[in-house]
Amino acid sequence: MESPGKKTFHNRIHIFHVASVGIVIAFLLGMGAVYRFNSDAQQKFLAIYSVYVPLKEALAKIREHLIAFQNNLQDIATLNAHSSPEELAVHRDAIQHEIHEIVRLLGREYATEGMIDLFLNYHQVALSLAKQMHTEANSTLGSDIQNVVLMRSLLEERLQGVEHYLDVTYQKDTLDAQNKMRWVTWTVFILILFLTATLTAASLIIVRLIVKRVNTLVEFAQEVSTGNYSIALNVQWNDEFATVAQALDSMVISINEKNAILHRLANFDALTELFNRNALITRLNAEIGAVRRHGYAMSFCICDIDNFKTINDRYGHLVGDQVLRAFAGCLRNILRIEDVVGRYGGDEFCVVLPHTPSAEAKLAMERVLQCFRTIAFIDDQQQTFSVTASFGICGFLPGMGTSDLIRDADAALYEAKKMGRNCVTTKT
């Protein structure tokens, strides 16, 4: 169970997922904001365009009507007194039509009050001029026409001012909308870029930690697979990999414990705790190789317990096991640490004595015999009895092998039996 303050990879990945969801939400919100501002800008563009274009068209039409109005006035001014009433009526109707259209266009909500007042004055002067054309001579109309032309020029200037105002306003509103849309777009882009960079950096850190820990575990497993069970991870991690590391350390400890048990079962005799036959032969072969390389003396001894079958038959196998353990204890206590002692089989034991000539080996085995035959064993009837043993020793000679040593030591043991047992003999 995780401790409250433990920083696990599960928590890190959970934070990573939350950050991913946050980036997606930020991206969607950003796209929504961009879309909204784009929609607002588009609507503003449409609103500006829907006002600007009709205004521009209306101003162009007003200008056309003004030109037509002035042209009709000039045509009337060129007529003489002999002109027919029909001709005057045509120009008068044309003037009335132009005036009507201009008034209609100026009557819209986008027309300015000053421009309407100016045109009303213009209309009154022009209308008065048109009325005079029916009764007065053309020569008397010159100054009035000039007034009409002057007023039209003023109106034209006012129209140009309105048109300039429309152009400046349109450009300003358009630029403001574009700047706002650009600002929102860059803001969203930078925000998403920052969140993406942060998430990427976090993911790289997590991946690096995971890869580093996995490599450590893999190297440890490879080292263990080669048979090296003396290593340990001993890492100071605080995440899920720490659990794996602890499990691997525990596994190696368990393997070492089981290997120790297997090694003891494979190399030691369970009853006497001495080397078993296979381990004994292996150690004997190794010692023979060392003697051949370095040339020092070595002796080999085979010994067994006298009349051991009789002991088992008379006192039972449990007492026989006590005798075997006691004899093994004497061998272990009397001989040196470097001497190799093992149970060859049944009641037979073997001893390898490196750096020991056969004469010294005989003295050592006599001490073992003395230790063993002084032990008092107790049977089921609480009667005491003692047991003896026989020893056969041979010294290593150049050219000898394992089988040669065993054969000569066994022959020496046979001689000890012939001599009445309870003694130590040496193969000469």
What DSSP string runs through 258-301? HHHHHHHHHHB-TTT-SB-HHHHHHHHHHHHHHHHHH---EEEE
In degrees, rounded to 5, the angle at the alpha carbon of residue 188 between the alpha carbons of residues 183 and 193 is: 125
Is residue 306 within 8 A of residue 385, CB to CB? The reply is no
Q: Domain check: are 277 and 240 in the same one? A: no
Q: Is residue 217 part of a domain?
A: no
Q: Domain check: are 291 and 383 in the same one? A: yes
Backbone torsions φ then ψ of 11, nearest 5 degrees: -65, -40
Q: Domain check: are 141 and 75 in the same one? A: yes
Q: Domain check: are 279 and 398 in the same one? A: yes
> Which of 211, 243, 267 is where one domain is finished?
267
The H-assigned helical ranges of 107-141 are: 113-132
| Per-position pLDDT tens, the chain of length 428 | 444 444 555 565 666 666 666 667 766 776 666 666 666 666 665 665 666 666 667 767 777 777 777 777 667 666 655 567 777 777 777 777 776 776 666 655 444 444 445 445 555 554 554 444 444 434 344 555 566 566 666 666 666 666 666 667 667 767 776 777 777 778 777 877 887 788 778 777 877 888 888 888 888 888 888 888 788 887 777 777 788 888 888 888 888 888 888 888 889 999 999 999 999 999 999 999 999 999 999 999 999 999 999 999 999 999 999 999 999 999 999 999 999 999 999 999 999 999 999 999 999 999 999 999 999 999 888 889 999 999 999 999 999 999 999 999 999 999 999 999 999 999 86
Q: Domain check: are 348 and 239 in the same one? A: no
Pairing of strands 389-395, 298-305: antiparallel
Tell me the whole-structure pTM to 2 decimals.
0.53
- Rounded CA-CA distance 283/88 in Å is 148
Q: Is residue 218 part of a domain?
A: no
Domain that holds residue 245: 228-267
Q: Domain check: are 95 and 127 in the same one? A: yes
Q: Domain check: are 277 and 251 in the same one? A: no
Number of domains in the chain: 3
Q: Domain check: are 121 and 236 in the same one? A: no
Tokens (6 digits) for 10 = 């599960």
Torsion angle in degrees (nearest 10) through CA of 366, 372, 376, 379: -130
Q: What is the DSSP letter of 319?
A: H
CATH of the domain at 134: 1.20.120.1730
Residue 158: C-alpha distances to residues 19, 68, 72, 163, 227 (Å): 61, 18, 22, 9, 103
For the purposes of burial, counting CB atoms within 10 Å of the CB of 172, is it exposed (0-12), middle (13-18) or buried (19 or more)?
Answer: exposed
> Which of 196, 218, 253 is where one domain is finished?
196
Tokens (6 digits) for 277 = 């036959």
- Rounded CA-CA distance 130/158 in Å is 24
Residue 29: C-alpha distances to residues 35, 178, 338, 391 (Å): 10, 20, 83, 98
Q: Is residue 383 part of a domain?
A: yes
Q: Domain check: are 103 and 85 in the same one? A: yes
Q: Domain check: are 257 and 283 in the same one? A: no
Write the pLDDT tens digit of every residue in 178-236. 777 777 778 777 877 887 788 778 777 877 888 888 888 888 888 888 888 788 887 77
Spatial neighbors of 224 by CB under 8 A, at least 6 apart, are: 231, 248, 252, 255
- Rounded CA-CA distance 241/84 in Å is 114
Is residue 311 within 8 A of residue 320, CB to CB? The reply is yes
Q: Domain check: are 276 and 408 in the same one? A: yes
Q: Domain check: are 65 and 165 in the same one? A: yes
